[in-house]
Amino acid sequence: VITHAPLVPAWEKRFQTDARAKIIHHGTHLEGNDLNLEEVEDILEPVPTLSTKNSQPSTDSRPIGRERDIQEVINYRAVMDYLDTLVPSRGTVPERNSRVQLEKGSSADEGTVPTGTHIPLTPSILAEVHRLTVEHILPQDEAGQYRSVKVIIRNTQSHEITFRPPGPFEVPGLIEELFKWLASPEGQEVHPLLRAGILHYELVRIHPFTDGNGRTARAMALLLLFLEGYEVKKFFALEEYYDAHPEEYYSALQSVTISHELTTWLEYFTLGISIEFNRVKSLVHKLSLDLHLKSTIGGRQITLSQRQIKLVEYIERHGEIGMGNVRELLSDVSDDTILRDLRDLVTKNLLIKKGSTKGTKYYLKK
């Protein structure tokens, strides 16, 4: 439905941009970032200068407060950009047995992995995801490196200890076992959605780094979904599902410690995927003006200009549009161009025109 929807090509970039902003906002907000979605979108729009590739701030200059919130957003965008380099080109699906493999001898300090069509999921990728997540936030010798200290997890409200992750000396072995299982025949037999959920939980449980474990775990689970073919044009944001009711997210994770089995967590995880995919499906249906539009336009895919997309968006929000509204919306465009765009949308059976002269209104075709 999503792949073949008539309006998807015109809206694809917008959907992906919105989904990425939601992933970054909700993924950081879930960990206590105070920036709202609009502020995050403002940060993502320009090329930020707070963090640059060649800058190497000292540990004494690590950002705090709002500056840290901004840095977290910049960092998580870098993580999403990195995941993009690891996912095969759109329209291709990696062979099942080459999607998730373990590189022999890989460890958390090996750095990045060369990109290509078939990217193995390895501790090296885990390390790079974490390094990007905490760059300029943690000291350089902690970014992408397994922790060397014991940590405890406390309830943010009651401050009670809710979980004690494994000791630091256990971390390398546990990570190695996890990635070996992912690559094993036994692991490959597990459905990809469940495998992504297990990866997510295990990284949270092992807590391999001093900070940034939640964002790293969610990014790795997302990467596994992408590599397993659950890309769905990158229109979805599981982080929004988690952040809508964070207490349910953390409760589902903690349920494994209480019950000593993964069922409750995996039910929660797969429900979130189902909810997000159905949301995207509904959105695409709506913007395709329901299924009957496809037969109305002869099943062809429609290409719209950026101006036309703005017009359709306006009508989606307000129900109609007149020339006065259009002039405000497209203030730098001549009336002749506006009328040409509107006539084209009518010709494409997307809009209907009612009235004449100054009273003309345009509506989405039902």
Domain count, the chain: 2
What mean pLDDT value characterizes the chain? 82
Examine the domain organization and report whether 337 and 271 are in the same domain.
no
Residue 304 has pLDDT above 80, yes or no: no
Examine the domain organization and report whether 37 and 109 are in the same domain.
yes
Examine the domain organization and report whether 322 and 281 are in the same domain.
no
Examine the domain organization and report whether 275 and 350 are in the same domain.
no
For residue 87, tell me if it sits in a domain: yes
Q: Which CATH number covers residue 140?
A: 1.10.3290.10
Examine the domain organization and report whether 266 and 334 are in the same domain.
no
For residue 294, tell me if it sits in a domain: no
Stronger pLDDT, 344 or 286, i.e. the higher one: 344
Examine the domain organization and report whether 309 and 278 are in the same domain.
no
Examine the domain organization and report whether 172 and 240 are in the same domain.
yes
Q: Is residue 65 annotated as involved in ligand binding? A: no
For residue 237, tell me if it sits in a domain: yes
**What is the pLDDT at residue 302?**
66
Instruction: State mean pLDDT over 164-177.
Output: 97
The tens digit of pLDDT for each residue in 244-267 reads 999 999 999 999 999 999 999 999
For residue 150, tell me if it sits in a domain: yes
Examine the domain organization and report whether 231 and 339 are in the same domain.
no
Stronger pLDDT, 175 or 96, i.e. the higher one: 175
**Which of 285, 314, 341 delimits the end of a domain?**
285
The whole model's pTM is what? Answer: 0.70
Q: Is residue 10 annotated as involved in ligand binding? A: no
Q: Which CATH number covers residue 322?
A: 1.10.10.10
Q: pLDDT above 70 covers what percent of the chain?
A: 77
* Parent domain of 37: 16-285
Q: Is residue 218 annotated as involved in ligand binding? A: yes
Q: How confident is the model at residue 297 (pLDDT cuts 50, 70, 90)?
A: low
The tens digit of pLDDT for each residue in 188-234 reads 999 999 999 999 999 999 999 999 999 999 999 999 999 998 887 78
The tens digit of pLDDT for each residue in 327-349 reads 999 988 899 999 999 999 999 88
Residue 15 has pLDDT above 50, yes or no: yes
Examine the domain organization and report whether 275 and 308 are in the same domain.
no
**What is the pLDDT at residue 9?**
54
Q: How confident is the model at residue 131 (pLDDT cuts 50, 70, 90)?
A: very high
Weakest mean pLDDT among 87-101, 192-206, 221-235, 278-292: 87-101
For residue 249, tell me if it sits in a domain: yes
For residue 296, tell me if it sits in a domain: no
Examine the domain organization and report whether 86 and 128 are in the same domain.
yes
Q: How confident is the model at residue 306 (pLDDT cuts 50, 70, 90)?
A: confident
**What is the pLDDT at residue 250?**
93
Residue 98 has pLDDT above 70, yes or no: no
Q: Is residue 216 annotated as involved in ligand binding? A: yes
Examine the domain organization and report whether 47 and 175 are in the same domain.
yes
For residue 11, tell me if it sits in a domain: no
Q: Catalytic residue at 207?
A: yes
**What is the pLDDT at residue 115?**
36
For residue 351, tell me if it sits in a domain: yes
Q: Is residue 54 annotated as involved in ligand binding? A: no
**What is the pLDDT at residue 161?**
83
The tens digit of pLDDT for each residue in 43-79 reads 998 554 444 444 444 344 555 568 999 999 999 999 9
**What is the pLDDT at residue 281?**
78
Instruction: State mean pLDDT over 168-172.
Output: 98
Residue 86 has pLDDT above 80, yes or no: yes
Q: What angle do CA 350, 282, 95 make, to 5 degrees?
A: 110
Residue 364 has pLDDT above 50, yes or no: yes
Q: Is residue 290 annotated as involved in ligand binding? A: no
**What is the pLDDT at residue 3?**
52
Q: Is residue 217 annotated as involved in ligand binding? A: yes
Catalytic-labelled residue, pool 207, 260, 285, 318: 207
Examine the domain organization and report whether 274 and 318 are in the same domain.
no
